[in-house]
Amino acid sequence: MDVKEFVSYLRVAKGPSSNGEYLCKCPAHDDRTASLCVGTGADGRILVKCQAGCDTRDVVKAMGLKMADLYSDLIKRAVNDLQRTYSLIYVDTLNIRTF
């Protein structure tokens, strides 16, 4: 999923900004000020940062998602690159093996 789909699971207070960042209500704590920053890293992964200090794992869990969802676009891109090199690959969430 991309950042747009990711924030659809959250209550967006502001965004996207010019650099594609969103400010959302953090689902992992009683958030009154919208302290969760969500953006996209240079490599395509989704970046999540709660200003109140919540662990990213807790945020993702509270959204009903998996940590792997943060990397799904990154993995898709890596798999496409591997498929150009290898004839058969096996993808198991974050474990990518080549044969």
Residues that bind Zn ion (CB under 5 A): 26, 28-29, 50, 52, 54
Rounded to a whole number of angstroms, the minimum distance from the CB of residue 47 to Zn ion is 15
Rounded to a whole number of angstroms, the minimum distance from the CB of residue 4 to Zn ion is 21
Nearer to Zn ion, 3 or 10 (CB): 10
Q: Are 77 and 91 in contact (CB under 8 A)?
A: no
CA dihedral 60, 40, 74, 57 (to 10 degrees): -20
**Going by DSSP bridges, is the β-strand pair 46-50/89-92 parallel, antiparallel, or unpaired?**
unpaired
Nearer to Zn ion, 38 or 54 (CB): 54
Rounded to a whole number of angstroms, the minimum distance from the CB of residue 67 to Zn ion is 16
Which H/E stretch holds residue 70? Answer: helix 68-85
Nearer to Zn ion, 65 or 78 (CB): 65
